[in-house]
Structure 1
Amino acid sequence: MVCDILIQANTILTQDPQRTVLENAGVAITGDTITAVGPWENLSRRYTAGQTLNLNHAMVMPGLINAHTHAAMSLLRGVADDLPLMEWLTKHIFPVEKHLSPEIVELGAMLACAEMTRLGTTSFCDMYLIEDATYRAVDRAGLRVLGGEGIFMFPSPAYADTERGFDLVRELHERWKDHPRIRQAVMPHAVYTTTPEILRRCLALSQELNMPLHIHLAETVTETEQCLAATGLRPVQYVHELGLLTPKTTIAHGVDLTEAEIDLLAGTGTVVAHNPESNMKLASGIANVPYMLQRGVPVSLGTDGAASNNALNMFTEMTSCALLHKVRCMDPTCAPAQAVLDMATLGGSRTMCMPDIGYIAPGMRADMVALDLRAPNLQPLHNPVSHVVYAATGAEVCMSMVGGEVLYNDGAFLKIDYPSLLKEVSALRSWVREKLS
């Protein structure tokens, strides 16, 4: 049999339904799809490949899925640290963002794509402004994205009024709907930046265009207090009464939730995108993820934007997630490594509404990364899942692939002109400083 690529690996961490781990194994890829996985001895006899990748020194695993971020905010990394969420947003971030241009957003998104590619993320869910520019960056960089133009009740750099914002969502859908790696969602920003009518229209539009829906929700106690004052309801109940909680909806953060609200999320099949490092940095609180998992809430994992994390590193995010919940619950069993890895892969596929990513098996998209097992922190390899969650830092990534195309290999970006990107980013520092002054 003929395939396009054969990968030989020391170890394959499949994340398939059986959570199979294979040693001295291989993956056959045809086009953008995995056609076979199994012992190398068998695959090497069955398949003839146009290209063979020898990763005998590496562990191959599914590419990580960043379930909530704002890619272009990488340009604002470190400009407003150590502040609470609402002060950070209203006094520092929003004032800079009102000056954004398509060129600046594309540059920031490209920097984010380089960071994620280098650190083992192959797909991400992105809500931002002038999202068309982010799509252009993704198209060039080779990653996979579920994106959406943030919908607000006030003007944004992308539109003069909310009505134009809805038109823009339709236009972007028409422009990018046939792209193999770019999909869209309807993304109302939050309950405090929208109205009931806007949220109803967002739901209707997502149903009309068969798009997922993604919204910041229950991120802080302050948000809850504002929602109660404005509507008489807590955020989850408020959006539930508007019909927004469905299996195609992801709420980002879900920090200030009661157990009854978590049960409601479980009953509606709503996904929660957990962002532990951003929530810690902004002192937003700690989401009750152990109870969510216990009750069957689908949970994914995200970094949030680089301005509030300050990295787009899903390996360190997994470590933080696992350790945070153990100490919060004073229970070392409450956030096991396998559950956290599931959040960063299988949970991410739920947020993306893409069942064909998140694990390695025939018929799945060939989105994979490899970790160099020669790194001292990954030796000896007693437990691959443990190493991925507790020991890996992302620096061990030696190969990243999306849809059968290698994007990064042994220190080299194959789609991104990284030296030129660095020069452009450096030149933009003065612009950011000027807007902050």
Structure 2
Amino acid sequence: MLVIGNGRMITRDLENPFVEDGAVAVEGNTILKTGVTKEIKELYPEAEFIDAKGGVIMPAFINTHEHIYSSFARGLSINGYNPKGFLDILDGMWWTLDRHLTLEQIKLSAMATYVDSIKNGVTTVFDHHASFGAITDSLFKIEEAAKAAGIRSCLCYEVSDRDGKEKAKEGIMENAAFIRHARKDDRDMIAGMMGMHASFTISDETMELCAEHKPSEVGYHIHVAEGIEDLHQCLHVHGKRIIDRLMDCNVLGEKTIAAHCIYVNKHEIELLKNTNTMVVHNPESNMGNACGCPPTMEIVKAGVLTGLGTDGYTHDMLESYKVANILHKHHLCDANAAWGEVPQMLFEGNAKIANRYFKKTLGILKEGAAADIIVTDYNPLTPMTKDNVNGHILFGMTGRSVVTTIGNGQVLMKDRELMQIDEEKVLADCRQAAAELATSINKR
């Protein structure tokens, strides 16, 4: 049993949102009770005590759109790579990288991502995977890493026709096999989805094959209108906009994640809302790829369940929070924009999205919820109250403010030391694998 206390506690529980000297008691993978440190310690005197040392205690973060396979791209130089636009970035960097990944490199990519996730206080990840050189068993390799790291993960493989029909079918079969496997997980730590790359790389025939092999209880995870080229292709080839095509193919729905949604109009936003489809915003990636700024504020205001992801650009959800906050202020020329919408996406939307796939209540510190808890070393210089906690988080913290991470009741990191993973060995293995991957790419 654990008690985490002696810190300012942000619970995300509307009935008890902030406790000045708070503590949370954990039994197994479940929160037993929250309250004032002195009272909680007296109730559970035999529990192991984790001292927040005046820092901030709050729910662990959830990342609803990640790309584990991109881990070894940092600093990667590819011969001849000189992109002139988004399609060049995809083909020259990401599709080139994923074609060269081996199964072992995929697992190590996942370990690298999960190590960074733990260090940044992320304990739940929705990953969108691609490895066209090693498709079969790729999701199972990521699961091995997820189990070793203790990270709750919802996985899928991005089906695409870009490397031919046979590989598209192999990707569909990998998704289907993993979804069946994940059904049997009684730990509530693994889930599966039917992944698809994007409308412009998926034929009607492949869409139909995905639907044929997708169990009814899961949805799709797909990039939507990330680049203008996706929209142009859909209009030219299919005679309709992307959301309309996905609607006609029965892709939309309450279990489906539509990532990005940059080039969507009011009509399409209404379809997303009416079908209860989930949207995930990835601000840094959109800016870094020069894809444009999505109408995320309109999407949120329309009542679409919207979350915040990183697209593999970072594993720090607070970095994404900061970037989203300034992106929409800058884009709209409105200093009042995004104050409420972005924290709603990060702290409420991500939890609601995750709970469409995981049973245990996530994103909140209250009795019965999952014991996913972080402690940061942030000690505010100005008053902190239930009304201004988001301002303190936005301007006072980064992901690396996290000193202790607890996932599903397990202490994954304590005082910045990883407890379940031999970090030195993992990083050494990752460095070797990344060097081998870079060599294989540039030999082509």
TM-score by length of 1: 0.91
**1:86 CA drift (Å):** 1.1
User: Which runs of no fewer than 5 residues in structure 1 stay unpaired?
Assistant: none
| 1:221-258 Cα deviation digits (max 9, x unpaired) | 11100111110111111101111111111101011111
Letter in 2 for 1:359: I
| 1:70-103 Cα deviation digits (max 9, x unpaired) | 1131111232698432101112221232121110
Corresponding residue for residue 29 of structure 2: 32
Tell me: CA distance 1:261–1:175, structure 2 relative to 1, closer, same or farther (3 Å): closer
Query: Cα RMSD (Å) of the superposition?
Result: 2.1
Distance, in Å, in 2 between the alignment partners of 1:92 and 1:72 is 12
Tell me: CA distance 1:24–1:350, structure 2 relative to 1, closer, same or farther (3 Å): same
Distance, in Å, in 2 between the alignment partners of 1:18 and 1:320 is 30
Distance, in Å, in 2 between the alignment partners of 1:60 and 1:276 is 26
Q: Residue 250 of structure 1 contacts residue 273 of structure 1 at CA under 8 Å; is this kept in 2?
A: yes
| 1:191-220 Cα deviation digits (max 9, x unpaired) | 122122322343454443x12321111111
Instruction: State which of 412, 420, 429 in structure 2 corresponds to 1:415.
Output: 420
Tell me: CA distance 1:78–1:286, structure 2 relative to 1, closer, same or farther (3 Å): farther
Q: Residue 271 of structure 1 contacts residue 350 of structure 1 at CA under 8 Å; is this kept in 2?
A: no
Q: Secondary structure of 1:395's match? A: helix
Distance, in Å, in 2 between the alignment partners of 1:103 and 1:361 is 39
Q: Residue 7 of structure 1 contacts residue 53 of structure 1 at CA under 8 Å; is this kept in 2?
A: yes
Corresponding residue for residue 273 of structure 1: 280
Distance, in Å, in 2 between the alignment partners of 1:44 and 1:411 is 24
Distance, in Å, in 1 between the alignment partners of 2:50 and 2:352 is 30
| 2:349 aligned with 1:347 | yes
Distance, in Å, in 1 between the alignment partners of 2:60 and 2:211 is 30
Q: Residue 10 of structure 2 contacts residue 19 of structure 2 at CA under 8 Å; is this kept in 1?
A: yes
**1:160 CA drift (Å):** 4.8
**1:163 CA drift (Å):** 3.2
Letter in 2 for 1:41: K
Q: Residue 63 of structure 1 contacts residue 345 of structure 1 at CA under 8 Å; is this kept in 2?
A: no
Percent identity between the two aligned chains:
25
Corresponding residue for residue 389 of structure 2: 384
Letter in 2 for 1:163: K
Corresponding residue for residue 119 of structure 1: 120
Tell me: CA distance 1:118–1:24, structure 2 relative to 1, closer, same or farther (3 Å): same
User: Which runs of no fewer than 5 residues in structure 2 stay unpaired?
Assistant: 131-137
Corresponding residue for residue 173 of structure 1: 179
Corresponding residue for residue 107 of structure 2: 106
Q: Residue 12 of structure 1 contacts residue 25 of structure 1 at CA under 8 Å; is this kept in 2?
A: yes
1:355-434 correspondence runs (5 A): 356-374=361-379, 378-382=380-384, 383-434=388-439
Distance, in Å, in 2 between the alignment partners of 1:120 and 1:388 is 13
Q: Residue 378 of structure 2 contacts residue 396 of structure 2 at CA under 8 Å; is this kept in 1?
A: no
Distance, in Å, in 1 between the alignment partners of 2:48 and 2:161 is 52
Q: How many residues align?
A: 423
Bigger mean CA offset, 45-54 vs 365-374: 45-54
Q: Residue 198 of structure 2 contacts residue 230 of structure 2 at CA under 8 Å; is this kept in 1?
A: no
Q: Residue 25 of structure 1 contacts residue 37 of structure 1 at CA under 8 Å; is this kept in 2?
A: yes
Distance, in Å, in 2 between the alignment partners of 1:339 and 1:45 is 39
Q: Residue 219 of structure 2 contacts residue 251 of structure 2 at CA under 8 Å; is this kept in 1?
A: no
Corresponding residue for residue 223 of structure 1: 230
Q: Residue 272 of structure 1 contacts residue 299 of structure 1 at CA under 8 Å; is this kept in 2?
A: yes
Q: Secondary structure of 2:142's match? A: helix
**1:19 CA drift (Å):** 7.2
Corresponding residue for residue 334 of structure 1: 337
